Structure 1
Amino acid sequence: MAAPARALSRPSAEDLHRVIASVFDEAFYRAVYDDLPAEIDALWHYRVQGWREGRDPAPWFSTRSYTFENPDVKRLRLEPLFHYLTRGRDEGREVAPSINARAYYSAVAWSPQPWRPPSFGPAFESRVSAISEAESDAAIAREFDAAFYLAANPDVAASGMDPLVHFRRTGWLEGRDPTPGFSVRDYLDANPDIAVSGLNPFAHYVIAGRAEGRSPRHDLGPEFDVISRLRPVADRIDRAVRVGANLSTDPAERLIAALMALRPDLHITFSHDNYVEHSGGLQLCVRRESVRFAQLGRDHMHLYPAAWWPTVRRDGEPGALGVMLNGVNLGVFEPHAIRMALGRLPPGGRRSFAIHSLLGHAPDETADILEAAGLREGFFWLHDFASLCAGFHLQRNDVTDCGAPAPDSAACGVCLYGDQRARHTEAHRRLFERLSLTVAAPSQNTLDFWRTRTTITPPRAVVLPLARLVSAGPAPAIPGDRPLRVAFVGMPVPLKGWPVFSALARSFASDPRYAFLHLGGRPDPATPAAFHRVMATMERPQAMQDAVEALEIDVALIWPACRETFSFTAYEAAAGGAMVVTGPDSGNVASFAAQRGRGLVLDGEAALSHAFSTGEILSLHRHRRKPRRYRLAYSGMTGDLVGAGS
């Protein structure tokens, strides 16, 4: 029976190298393992990686046999040859020859002779280090891109810490990439032997992985990244249930007191989050609606799920709601407390409501809350397609536009949202049964599509664009000898088409005919595009269109992966004088770009690449088309529909 391993301490890299090198048989190792590239040092390969793969360092030593016979060594993940020479031999542990020894000796015309493992120096306590710190640091430093690392990690830049030190110590453990061409996550996913070794993956790639033909990142495209991160909708719901069940709520009396202090005229809205704390198109819409109702002399009460929910809720699922009054967060309340508080409102007064999103809400609960306030007739906004599917962007597995096929179709059967689709369609059907809802669509394209896919027949429907262009005269003349300026407008996320722009910028980065720019909230250093930080807010609604005009953007590539119901970015780009270029499945973006003087709708990504290769896209240069300037007049949302006289 094997003796137990004594307490071990970390050996120096020099001791590791010296001990193993004293008996390592390079001729044997290269003859037996002929997959080893000639440019890789055989001793280094064995010490860092080979022993983990069960490779033998010499004819007389079987790595697999030693670890099998000594489970304590295997459990502690100790390099077996070093352990034997420095501890195991003195503890009486036995070794077996390599299974490749006989074949090796036969091949070199030697006669196997009896042997004993060589003796080596005094034993000392140690724990194996897989790769020396000096080797790793030197390898990383040779190819590390500090400028890229700081741009990709603004928190590191703000801290003032040396980026190379940060990456070596913690960055790679957090999945941060050292260069645009190397993905820590991809490398570890593709090389489980390195993942379990504890080695810095970039150091391994530079020292050995590249020579072995290992890829620094996968070439499966952005769709693979999305799919690899998908979680079943049921798991997301379970998480929401657990979080919701642990929420603490405020007493109803607090809400009652706040409501009693309001004016008799009240507008109530529902959405999926706190529109003040979160940013986005829908959130800006609710803010503009609140401002418009304030102008109409009405207070504004907003209800949203206090804990994030991926779908609509069902009866019995926990659903405390956050309550905001006139833009101020009042607290978290149980739905029955909100019903009770609204039921205490004095009769009379002008009241209205709009449902901007049912995510995180239950249909009967929502109707009960509104009926407590004496409301049944209101508005339901089509900001997305949650009324058709739990995958409210209508992307099969968050990757491909699905067009909302029949629920019993094979297409739904292969989508992770398929088994949750009924949850949404039934919930919205129930909502329309309980309430008299006018469907408000931000575009005709959205309303037409929704009507062809839903079984709901609303009593009324109306189209109200979220913004419209108002002419402000011709734009300044632009020289014709500068490159075509092509911009991506918005956050660099797959849903908004960033992978298409990024690939285009990489393909034509060296083409003098084009200059690529990114106008948005955060950069992507891996894409060769000049970044300009631009964020449109309620306080600065014209920020994006002003930047498009100031930077003289010729083309705004707006190529979303989903059907946009409106697209503020398309209107902002056009207002700044740019032409919108998009694909055929972009919803209202395509409808907008198809209008005369607004942009260009291409058949697909191949057509996009062709337009740039041939130079056809150059016809959209400002110098050639002499664009006009516009200002954006934003909608007051439901406030415009209700009107001042209601």
Structure 2
Amino acid sequence: MQDLLQQDIAAIRERFDTAFYLKRYPDVGAAGIDPIEHYCRDGWREFRDPAMDFSTQYYLRANPDVAQSGVNPYAHFILQGEAEGRKAMAPLVETDEERTARLRLEHEKSVIAEAFNAEFYVQRYEDIAQLGVDPLDHYCRDGWREGRDPNDRFSTAYYLYAHPDVEAAGINPFWHYIMTGESEGRACMPENDDWMAIPEDPRAAAERALVAEHFDADFYLLHYPQVAEAGVDPVDHYLKFGAAEGHDPSPDFSTRYYLEMNPDLAGSGVNPFWHYLSSGKAEGRDPRHPGGYRVEELIALEPLERNVKRWRRKMAPRKLLDGEALVAAILGDAEGAELIFSLGHDQYRQVSGGVQLCIQREETLAVEAGGIYLNLHPWQPLPRLAHAEEDPDPVMVLVRNGTEIGKARMSDLIAATGALRTRIAGTKVVVHHLLGHLPEQVAELIAAAGERACWLWLHDFFSICPSYTLQRNTVSYCGAPDVSSNACTLCRFGVERAAHLARMKRFFDAVQVHVLSPSEVTAELWQARSGLRAASLEVVPHMALRWSKRAEPLPEDKTPITIGFLGTPAPHKGWNVFARLVRSLAASPTYRFVYLGQREMPISGVEHVDVHVTADTPDAMIDAVRQAGVDLVLHWASWPETFSLSTYEAFAGGAYVLTNPISGNVAATVARLKRGAILEDEAALHDFVTGAKGAKLVEKLRRERAEKAVKHTLSGMGFEVWGRKKKGRKA
């Protein structure tokens, strides 16, 4: 068997496209498997393609003798099939069927264009706006099949439900309504909200009851907001439309995966979730990919530049500030004040997060000191640095002392900065994030201010890699390997990282960069892996904690153990781990689960406490943790957190923290303060929470919480450094 494998590898080696294979199938790279060996051993059986000009699936279907022989199709093609005139791919010439479909689509669009409301469509369906696709084209290709509405006077789902002949014909319902339905007097909107009710017959009722028992309505409505907007029952929607559209009924079941892995269900009309619950589970069929969310994310992963293309806005801003108007807008009535440029990546007054809170905190201190705090963030957000060849002069959004004052080209800002030098007391430049910026222009801004220095915060590791959490292919911590290593080459950020690091080095060479790290563990990692030479490096924590004895002890707490999750429910923060813990323990009266943050809840079994931390309400999360009686906060970071305000907010609110060894300053702080537990993996977490150790830790916490109160002090951010002459340690 091994000899045959080596023969196949030798046969295809010269024509196998390694770069193509790794780009199309990132799970192979993430697993560290040799690509050509993977294709010869397993890849061709999974219908993966070895090169852009060879389709494994087509070759096997077009040549049943090859498929029946069980030989490697690419090796067969190279050694024999090509000489015999066999085709490597399906013909590229448009077939009659394809031409008919294209002409039909063009006709549908021309018929419904006038009645279609594009503005309504992108406002209701935010994912379409983010994709940047043509709304009319999307509706005609996919939107009506997904139950989306073309305007506020036509219900796609209802029209198909009310007129089964249209649904059976498989045609665009809005096109049908305009062409014939309206003149026939067909209804296009429901009269009440119970139109989705499925007729009661014993078999349908039994199927619905089984699905409903395991159906997660909160999850469904959050992930498919058009269902919530239609006001229909989510279970009925899934049974009638959702399964056919590939919707998932719960976080534990993938409709598309189940249908793909079980071709015996294709065309049967059997609901896949009902099949799994009634027989598939007992037969050992998998409800979703056994590799878990990481593999699923890898399968769905798109190249970085395609991601950039999706982010790009289609229209330019209408009005930009320049010249004297820009100078006047920045200066206001603060002639002679100090000007602080603050570079970030988003509108920190609207977006909630640790970086955003740090900027707000610094802004508050600057205003209190009588200064001008001018935040610059890119009008065009990007998941990497800006590229000069795309736009050599990006537009910045300007926020002055908390109020947005307009937008301007970076070159005009640089010119305005030079013009302001004689009218202000001095200038400082603080870099909180460079996502979407041109560092070359940032260096020009610093020079125009008459400075050679700036301060750069290590809120994450963007100065080391565009994957600012140092996660290879966004799913696993990489440790920032050498840019030329295979580990870096296999990552979706690898190509960009080489240029990224070179640009960062040039920035550090052009400017005296004083690096501010919120924790010791972050400073050590940055020094070891960045390869950048800073003018100085200083540790400035964002919060300090102090415990003191209460005058009167609190009464004994006998409530269920409360486990919380704070902030953004993202995988790199451990949300998936929290969700699995909830699903395994939510039915137990011993535990209570709470989510504290702004996002809508994507799972059931969890209480949601809406919390938004701002400079005006800096203690909102701490107060919420305390009021909710949270005992344990789960912060299962999959990267080395640089500080983690939520960890300190948990401590300040009277909770302990559960984390893992790679969580950076989270684990370091838990170990230093001895307030929580560091657990090796998810199995250890589950055993700890459900076992005697977890119960004893909560008992210890509650005794301490009853006897001691905790006080916290927020950092002075950059002002802690600027307000004294002490230099940071040399990098």
The answer, yes or no, to whether TM exceeds 0.5 is yes
Quick one: distance in 1 between partners of 2:167 and 2:466? 53
Quick one: distance in 2 between partners of 1:337 and 1:192? 60
Q: Please give the per-residue CA displacement for 1:204-259, whole angstroms capped at 9, x wherever unaligned.
A: 7679977987544333312123223322113234445x538855551413323313
Q: 1:478–1:622: 8 Å Cα contact kept in structure 2?
A: no
Q: Which residue of 2 aligns with 1:321?
A: 396
- Matching of residue 352 in structure 1 with residue 424 in structure 2: no
TM-fit CA distance, 1:300: 1.2
Cα 1:248/1:586, change in 2 over 3 Å: same
TM-fit CA distance, 1:482: 4.5
Q: Find the partner of 1:178 among 245, 249, 253.
A: 249
Q: How does 1:196-275 map to 2 (within 5 A)?
A: 202=273, 215-239=286-310, 243=313, 246-248=316-318, 250-253=320-323, 254-263=325-334, 264=336, 265-275=338-348
Question: 3-state SS of the aligned residue for 1:332?
Answer: strand
Q: 2:352–2:612: 8 Å Cα contact kept in structure 1?
A: no
Cα 1:622/1:616, change in 2 over 3 Å: closer
Q: 1:492–1:523: 8 Å Cα contact kept in structure 2?
A: no
- Matching of residue 141 in structure 1 with residue 221 in structure 2: no
Quick one: distance in 2 between partners of 1:149 and 1:245? 37
Question: 3-state SS of the aligned residue for 1:235?
Answer: helix
Cα 1:529/1:324, change in 2 over 3 Å: closer
TM-fit CA distance, 1:512: 5.3
Quick one: distance in 2 between partners of 1:184 and 1:433? 53
Q: Find the partner of 1:331 among 361, 385, 406.
A: 406
Q: Find the partner of 1:153 among 221, 236, 244.
A: 221
Quick one: distance in 1 between partners of 2:413 and 2:206? 62
Q: How does 1:472-491 map to 2 (within 5 A)?
A: 473-474=549-550, 476-477=553-554, 479=556, 482-491=559-568
Q: 1:562–1:587: 8 Å Cα contact kept in structure 2?
A: yes
Q: Please give the per-residue CA displacement for 1:493-539, whole angstroms capped at 9, x wherever unaligned.
A: 21110122222333344555544333333454545444433343333
Question: 3-state SS of the aligned residue for 1:438?
Answer: strand
Q: Which residue of 2 aligns with 1:93?
A: none
Quick one: distance in 2 between partners of 1:560 and 1:315? 34
Q: How does 1:384-403 map to 2 (within 5 A)?
A: 384-403=460-479
TM-fit CA distance, 1:323: 1.8
Q: Which residue of 2 aligns with 1:421?
A: 497
Normalising by structure 2, we get a TM-score of 0.64
Cα 1:605/1:478, change in 2 over 3 Å: farther
Quick one: distance in 2 between partners of 1:334 and 1:506? 50
Cα 1:614/1:239, change in 2 over 3 Å: closer
Q: Please give the per-residue CA displacement for 1:408-442, whole angstroms capped at 9, x wherever unaligned.
A: 22221222212221222112211111111110011
Q: How does 1:172-571 map to 2 (within 5 A)?
A: 176-179=247-250, 181-187=252-258, 190=261, 202=273, 215-239=286-310, 243=313, 246-248=316-318, 250-253=320-323, 254-263=325-334, 264=336, 265-318=338-391, 319-347=394-422, 348-471=424-547, 473-474=549-550, 476-477=553-554, 479=556, 482-510=559-587, 513-522=590-599, 524=601, 526=603, 528-571=605-648
Q: How does 1:49-60 map to 2 (within 5 A)?
A: none
Quick one: distance in 1 between partners of 2:692 and 2:399? 52
Q: 2:352–2:613: 8 Å Cα contact kept in structure 1?
A: no
Cα 1:186/1:477, change in 2 over 3 Å: farther
Q: 2:364–2:615: 8 Å Cα contact kept in structure 1?
A: no
Quick one: distance in 1 between partners of 2:690 and 2:360? 43
Q: 1:442–1:565: 8 Å Cα contact kept in structure 2?
A: yes
Cα 1:327/1:537, change in 2 over 3 Å: closer
Q: 2:220–2:249: 8 Å Cα contact kept in structure 1?
A: no
**Larger proportion of helix:** 2
TM-fit CA distance, 1:282: 0.5
Q: Please give the per-residue CA displacement for 1:19-78, whole angstroms capped at 9, x wherever unaligned.
A: xxxxxxxxxxxxxxxxxxxxxxxxxxxxxxxxxxxxxxxxxxxxxxxxxxxx98xx99xx
Question: 3-state SS of the aligned residue for 1:609?
Answer: helix
Question: 3-state SS of the aligned residue for 1:182?
Answer: coil
Question: 3-state SS of the aligned residue for 1:345?
Answer: helix
TM-fit CA distance, 1:492: 2.4
Give 1:149's aligned amino acid. Answer: A
Quick one: distance in 1 between partners of 2:426 and 2:245? 54
Quick one: distance in 2 between partners of 1:598 and 1:205? 43
Question: 3-state SS of the aligned residue for 1:485?
Answer: strand
TM-fit CA distance, 1:403: 1.1
- Matching of residue 629 in structure 1 with residue 700 in structure 2: no
Q: Which residue of 2 aligns with 1:618?
A: 695
Q: How many residues align?
A: 525
Give 1:432's aligned amino acid. Answer: F
Q: Which moved more, 1:476-485 or 1:287-296?
A: 476-485
Q: Which moved more, 1:277-286 or 1:549-558?
A: 549-558
Normalising by structure 1, we get a TM-score of 0.72
Give 2:461's aligned amino acid. Answer: F
Quick one: distance in 2 between partners of 1:543 and 1:195? 51
Quick one: distance in 2 between partners of 1:196 and 1:345? 71
Give 2:648's aligned amino acid. Answer: Y
Question: 3-state SS of the aligned residue for 1:311?
Answer: coil
TM-fit CA distance, 1:625: 4.2
Quick one: distance in 2 between partners of 1:258 and 1:281? 28
Q: 1:542–1:632: 8 Å Cα contact kept in structure 2?
A: no
Q: How does 1:12-91 map to 2 (within 5 A)?
A: none
- Matching of residue 603 in structure 1 with residue 603 in structure 2: no
Quick one: distance in 2 between partners of 1:584 and 1:211? 37
Quick one: distance in 2 between partners of 1:417 and 1:494? 18
Quick one: distance in 2 between partners of 1:173 and 1:330? 48
Quick one: distance in 1 between partners of 2:449 and 2:257? 54
Quick one: distance in 2 between partners of 1:195 and 1:640? 65
TM-fit CA distance, 1:609: 3.0
Cα 1:239/1:489, change in 2 over 3 Å: closer
Quick one: distance in 2 between partners of 1:397 and 1:194? 33
Cα 1:523/1:148, change in 2 over 3 Å: farther
TM-fit CA distance, 1:343: 1.9
**Bigger-Rg structure (1/2):** 1
TM-fit CA distance, 1:604: 2.8
Q: 2:358–2:717: 8 Å Cα contact kept in structure 1?
A: yes
Quick one: distance in 2 between partners of 1:246 and 1:169? 42
Question: 3-state SS of the aligned residue for 2:630?
Answer: coil
Q: Please give the per-residue CA displacement for 1:172-192, whole angstroms capped at 9, x wherever unaligned.
A: 577653345433444455467
Quick one: distance in 1 between partners of 2:321 and 2:666? 46
Question: 3-state SS of the aligned residue for 1:603?
Answer: coil
Question: 3-state SS of the aligned residue for 2:375?
Answer: strand
Give 2:683's aligned amino acid. Answer: A
Q: 2:320–2:407: 8 Å Cα contact kept in structure 1?
A: yes
User: Could you list the runs of 5+ residues in structure 1 that have no partner in the other structure?
Assistant: 1-70, 77-124
Q: 2:304–2:492: 8 Å Cα contact kept in structure 1?
A: yes
Quick one: distance in 1 between partners of 2:166 and 2:417? 72
- Alpha-carbon RMSD across the aligned residues, in angstroms, is 3.7
Quick one: distance in 1 between partners of 2:278 and 2:657? 46
Quick one: distance in 1 between partners of 2:307 and 2:326? 30
Q: Which residue of 2 aligns with 1:28?
A: none
Cα 1:259/1:172, change in 2 over 3 Å: same
